[in-house]
Structure 1
Amino acid sequence: MTIDLPARPVRRLLRGRFGWFFAGRAVDIFGTSMSTVALALAVLQVSGEATDLGIVLAANVTPGLLLMLAGGVLADRVGRRGLLIAANTVSAAATGAIAVLLLCGRYQVAAVAGLSLVTGAAAAFAQPALRGVVPELVADVDLQRANALLASSRHAVRIVAPAVAGLVTATAGGGWALVVDAVSCLVAAVFFLRLPARGRVVVSGRSVLADLVAGWRIFRSLRWVLVGSVSFAVMNAVNAGPWNVLGPMLVSARGGPFGWGAVLSVRAVGLLVMSVVAVRLGWRRPLRTGRVFGVLSAVPLLALGVSGSPWVVGVAAFVGGVGMTVSAITWDSAVQVRVPREALSRVASFDDLFSFVTVPLSGLAVGPFAGWFGASRVAGVCGVVFVVAALVPLLSAETRRG
């Protein structure tokens, strides 16, 4: 069941302290989305080696899983505002250094990979703080609305930024696109300076490891969070690889490269439209609602299993985007309301680690499975498993009532 929310509170949210966070986050995502495209194009422009690109991208992604838990501990110990400012400042310096190397013609894969490792580490430390800081800025009743606003800006920016990055890289070079990213990190840090300097948790006489263990105990004691995280891990395992690897294979065979590009664009529209609609809606039972809508995210996989037609998969991708948006917004809101505030970033870091650790494994496994059983069959079976994984948490009364 939904609750219609008046427009005036939304305007008040954007005018208050949440508005500074909203602006900073939008700017940061714009720069990061540009950087992801620009760095890949720039490395290929300069070196022409796919191996170099693989090394640089791996260096950027690896810290996310290795340092996420440490980021959760620090966010709960020293305050989320300060960690966000520090992470953006470090990221600006590292990205700016990569831009200088490219603009000065001094590209070396080791140097660029090392700096990418730094930006990945900064993002890993920032992620738990990002999930934990929103409840410090808005009342609990406004959390779903605030998360929907953040999702709206995120999806809108990610539609525009890659195109801008491609244009800047093609006309001025990848180095200048990375300069834009570095500046965006600094601008975001300035916006975050306007956030209230509170939410600091002073832990006396306890080590970082002790805080980490305490966070694990809290995470494990919240059975609905643990079950939800394991469910997301299974859903990501059967979705990430099949969608990103088998999707372009099956759709391109029917509609060419343009067909797959069109499918991704339609999916992005579904994500954006639902996030905008969700700003006006609230759900009394977000956990249950998220699980029901989450089933829709399996529709694109089922469509790949039945037909590789760009039209069929495109419509399914739109529906899947709608379901994914509601699932993400309601989950974040439930965690932010129900998890003890002093442990929120640690619990969020365990949640993210459990949920996303299967993503790289999925990408590695899907190719061999498709070779053994056929791409369409694997996609369809993964869609069925996704539905089951999405609905299993509803066996818990706590999730159904939540």
Structure 2
Amino acid sequence: MTSPTDAGLRRARRPAWAGRNYTLLTAAAIATNLGSQGALIASAFAVLESGGDAGDVGLVAAARTIPLVLFLLVGGALADRLPRHRVMVAANTLNCLSQAAFAALVLTGDPLLWQMMALAALGGTGHAFFSPASEGMLMSSVSGEQAGRAFALYRMSMHGAGIGGAALGGALIAVLGPGWVLAIDSAAFLVAGSLRAFLDVSHIPARAPGGGMLADLRDGWREFVGRPWLWTIVVQFAVVNAVVVAAEAVYGPLVARDELGGAGPWGLALAAFGAGTVGGALVMMRWKPRRLLLAGTLCVFPLALPSAGLAVPLPAVGLALVMFLTGLSVEVFGVSWMTALHQEIPEEKLSRVSAYDMLGSIGMIPVATALAGPAESAFGRSTALWGCSALIVLLTAAVLTVPDVRRLTRRRTSKTERASVAPAAAAAVSADAESAVGRPG
């Protein structure tokens, strides 16, 4: 039996900012990332083993992405209207059931393409409702000066679980087949949903009756466009994410095949990127830059390096080093971005604002990946890759001309204290703090 002294020692060893909700959210995120990263690989192999080709793999991936784009804003409004943990549990339940059905189809026979597309669409729908609720719940679970450290540890846990999940999933597909990996992902959603069911939302103020879903979306939109630092960075990353994905998902494997000797060097580069994100999270657990968005935006410039490295192309070791630096830099931006949202956005609007952020971050990715092939044919692969790098540099430099991006500072006020400050006054506080010296994905 555990004594009160033992329990007290365990509580003492846990940092004050790692409260019950934060611990549950982190544990659940580890579970889902362990399962989901392997499941992404498994779904592609399930399509191929059923007789499909690369085009069919793309159709299943598109079937997952389309409902994510369609329902993301609705999910954000719903998460700000209902208790967020209930939305998260319902979405996890949908993902659990859809992956279980996908696994059963693969294990019991030859699944048809339309069946796999339908189940992938259900998974994307669950993700659309889950993500804004999860973002809002995470941000409401931490407060004070240690918020950045909490976000860094959370992201490091997610990235570490994703790296491990991809490696474990690939190994299990080779040994057991894709069906069992999909079944494991279903079980991971069950575990995660069970953990999230125990989240405590008693500290979150009750939602005031609103004027309906459209009114909620308009309110979130006003919050979004009323902050220049917010919408300009989201617009920036709409393009940045699109060209990064096009370069790495389309051109990267082609360069590896034609110039680097096969898939091995590209796999090494992607692994180095994952290691870099973990390293970046470790850095942000100790570093708390005063000018959040300035530090974060400066760290977006290295995202231009992988496209340039592929255009040259660099040898495998050089490309891996570039990808490691990119992973580290993008994590500095990611933690800074989450800390800024946590500090500046009222708690009751977090999920809606996060939904607009996420929609901007993914909205142009299908367009960019679709245009990658024609761009290579028209301009050549090297020129297209240099174009990707140039877009990232130009857009990031443009964002730095926005005064709020340069001036927004880390504040020490609590969540409750700053929630009572009107947006215009909050901006004035930020500007005044900077007077002495002068986003999404």
When normalised by structure 2's length, the TM-score is 0.85
Read off the aligned partner of 1:401 and give its amino acid letter: R
Shift of 1:273: 1.5
CA RMSD of aligned residues (A): 1.9
Shift of 1:9: 8.7
Shift of 1:250: 2.2
Distance 1:275 1:291 in 2: 16
Shift of 1:331: 0.8
CA offset digits 1:337-377 (Å, max 9, x no partner): 10111111111111111222111111111222222222112
Gaps of 5+ in 2: 1-11, 409-441
CA offset digits 1:148-181 (Å, max 9, x no partner): 1121112112211122112222222222111111
Q: What is aligned with 2:48?
A: 44
Distance 2:257 2:241 in 1: 23
In the TM superposition, 1:293-308 aligns within 5 A as 293-308=299-314
Shift of 1:297: 1.5
Out of 335, 338, 344, the residue aligned to residue 329 of structure 1 is 335
Distance 2:139 2:177 in 1: 40
Out of 74, 79, 86, the residue aligned to residue 75 of structure 1 is 79
Larger Rg: 2
Distance 1:21 1:214 in 2: 27
**8 Å Cα contact 2:19-2:141 kept in structure 1:** no
Q: What is aligned with 2:186?
A: 182
Shift of 1:127: 0.8
Distance 2:293 2:131 in 1: 22
Out of 233, 240, 263, the residue aligned to residue 228 of structure 1 is 233
> Does 2:362 align with 1:356?
yes
**8 Å Cα contact 1:77-1:200 kept in structure 2:** no
Out of 20, 26, 30, the residue aligned to residue 26 of structure 1 is 30
Out of 338, 342, 345, the residue aligned to residue 348 of structure 2 is 342
Distance 2:196 2:397 in 1: 38
Q: What is aligned with 1:243?
A: 248
Residues 237 and 97 (structure 1 numbering): CA distance in 2 closer, same or farther, change over 3 Å?
Answer: closer
Q: What is aligned with 2:439?
A: none
CA offset digits 1:376-401 (Å, max 9, x no partner): 12212321221121232221221111
Q: What is aligned with 2:386?
A: 380
Residues 140 and 69 (structure 1 numbering): CA distance in 2 closer, same or farther, change over 3 Å?
Answer: farther
**8 Å Cα contact 1:135-1:337 kept in structure 2:** no
In the TM superposition, 1:44-193 aligns within 5 A as 44-105=48-109, 107-193=111-197
**8 Å Cα contact 2:259-2:313 kept in structure 1:** no
Shift of 1:143: 1.9
Q: How many residues align?
A: 395
**8 Å Cα contact 1:306-1:376 kept in structure 2:** yes
Out of 317, 323, 326, the residue aligned to residue 323 of structure 2 is 317
Read off the aligned partner of 1:98 and give its amino acid letter: F
Distance 1:162 1:59 in 2: 21
Give the 3-state SS of the residue equivalent to 1:154 in structure 2: helix
> Does 2:397 align with 1:397?
no
In the TM superposition, 1:285-296 aligns within 5 A as 285-296=291-302
**8 Å Cα contact 2:46-2:178 kept in structure 1:** yes
Give the 3-state SS of the residue equivalent to 2:359 in structure 1: helix
Residues 338 and 193 (structure 1 numbering): CA distance in 2 closer, same or farther, change over 3 Å?
Answer: same
Give the 3-state SS of the residue equivalent to 1:11 in structure 2: coil
**8 Å Cα contact 1:250-1:376 kept in structure 2:** no
Worse-matched range after superposition: 66-75 or 194-203: 194-203
Shift of 1:205: 5.0
Shift of 1:142: 2.2
Distance 1:74 1:205 in 2: 12
Read off the aligned partner of 1:124 and give its amino acid letter: A
Q: What is aligned with 1:4?
A: none
**8 Å Cα contact 2:17-2:143 kept in structure 1:** no
Shift of 1:87: 0.6
Identity of aligned residues (%): 30
**8 Å Cα contact 2:50-2:110 kept in structure 1:** no
Gaps of 5+ in 1: 1-7
Higher helix share: 1
Worse-matched range after superposition: 248-257 or 20-29: 248-257
Give the 3-state SS of the residue equivalent to 2:146 in structure 1: helix
Distance 1:9 1:140 in 2: 19
Read off the aligned partner of 1:240 and give its amino acid letter: V
Worse-matched range after superposition: 140-149 or 8-17: 8-17
Distance 2:206 2:81 in 1: 5
Shift of 1:243: 2.6
Give the 3-state SS of the residue equivalent to 2:288 in structure 1: strand
Distance 1:225 1:382 in 2: 23
